Structure 1
Amino acid sequence: MFGTWRGRSFPTGHIIDGVLEATGWYGKRFEGINDVHPLVFGSAGQLYNVNPRLLPMNQAERLSTVIKKPMVATISKLLLHCVTTSKPKARLRMVDYRGKCTATMLYDDLPIVDHFRQLDENTVLGVMDLRGSAPFFFTLERTVL
């Protein structure tokens, strides 16, 4: 899992499908088992880490249709630069998920767990497990920066 990964929503009809992409989400960066940047934004060559604790994650579903509007998405991209961090905000562990030992990312400050299953050498399927919300699926593809 180590390295930088490009993320994309896996379309399932979940209310937040496409929200992260609309706000400039790039993916995730895994520097070590205790050093994970769960929310990386920007584009290749100009990536920055966002502190998830400072985002309204518990309101994401409610705000999703508004955030997808072009003007709001543009404003959101600008505001994200105000909540950057250089410190890792998650860690990796192996956790039993649906009967299989799975690479799992635990957010430091939020009740969110992302589970990963390998699809091929450079692609994983992720599922975000947030209490009170339906599972949100996404893919990560390994990038070389």
Structure 2
Amino acid sequence: MESQTEIVAMLEEGKGDLHTACKLFDSLETVDLESLLGTWKGKEFHTGHPLDGVLTKLRWYGKKFRDADNVDPLLFEIKKGKVVAVDPVPFMTKRKLSEATGGEARMRMVEFRGKLSATIIYDHLPIHDHLRKIADGKLLGMMDLKGDKQPFFFLLEKLEK
């Protein structure tokens, strides 16, 4: 594993190689569902995945956790200061983005890579976003999309309620 200084630099820069990102994810603490409630600002973590750069270009804002059965997995800033939940199905199928009518996912505790941690389970897509704790209010997420050759990584930072 990289030194703590190298890990901090890698997280701040928002990129690293896939192998190191996986090792870092595996080393992090688990997350419980209650600690997720609220809105989280998102940032991509580039590892060479085909989605690297796409969310940023589309002005991805983050995720919102209302309760265990109502999660907005994709928030986008459509105008300066106006953030809306987007339906992930058109996004993932490369169709025009459309506003979501409500929570398009839920959260559950799921065992993944040897640890039980909070996971976002999308309602209509074979996607699980597994979350691990970097520090209080900071998470590393690993998107597990059925059929993808590698995971997509992202960072989340909790906003004040």
TM-score by length of 1: 0.79
The CA deviation at 1:107 is: 0.1
Within the candidate set 78, 96, 102, 1:87 is matched to 102
The letter of the residue matching 1:38 is P
Q: SS of the counterpart of 2:46? A: coil
| Corresponding letter in the other structure for 1:99 | G
Distance 1:21 1:36 in 2: 20
- Structure 2: gaps of 5 or more residues: 1-35
User: Which of 81, 87, 111 does residue 51 from structure 1 map onto?
Assistant: 87
| 1:40, distance to aligned residue in structure 2 (A) | 0.4
* 1:122 counterpart letter in structure 2: G
Counterpart code for 2:82: Q
For normalisation by structure 2, the TM-score amounts to 0.72
1:104: Cα distance to partner?
0.4
Q: Which runs of at least 4 in structure 1 moved beyond 2 Å after TM superposition?
A: none
Aligned to 2:44: 9
Q: In the TM superposition, what is the alpha-carbon distance from 1:44 to its structure 2 partner?
A: 7.3
2:111 equivalent in structure 1? 96
SS state at 1:16 partner = coil
Aligned ranges for residues 115-134 of structure 1 at < 5 Å? 115-133=130-148, 134=150
Report how many residues are paired: 124
Paired-residue identity, %: 45
The aligned counterpart of 2:55 is 20
1:37 and 2:53 matched:
no
Which runs of no fewer than 5 residues in structure 1 stay unpaired?
Answer: 60-75
Give the Cα–Cα distance (whole angstroms) in 2 for the partners of residues 118 and 49 of structure 1: 24
RMSD: 1.8
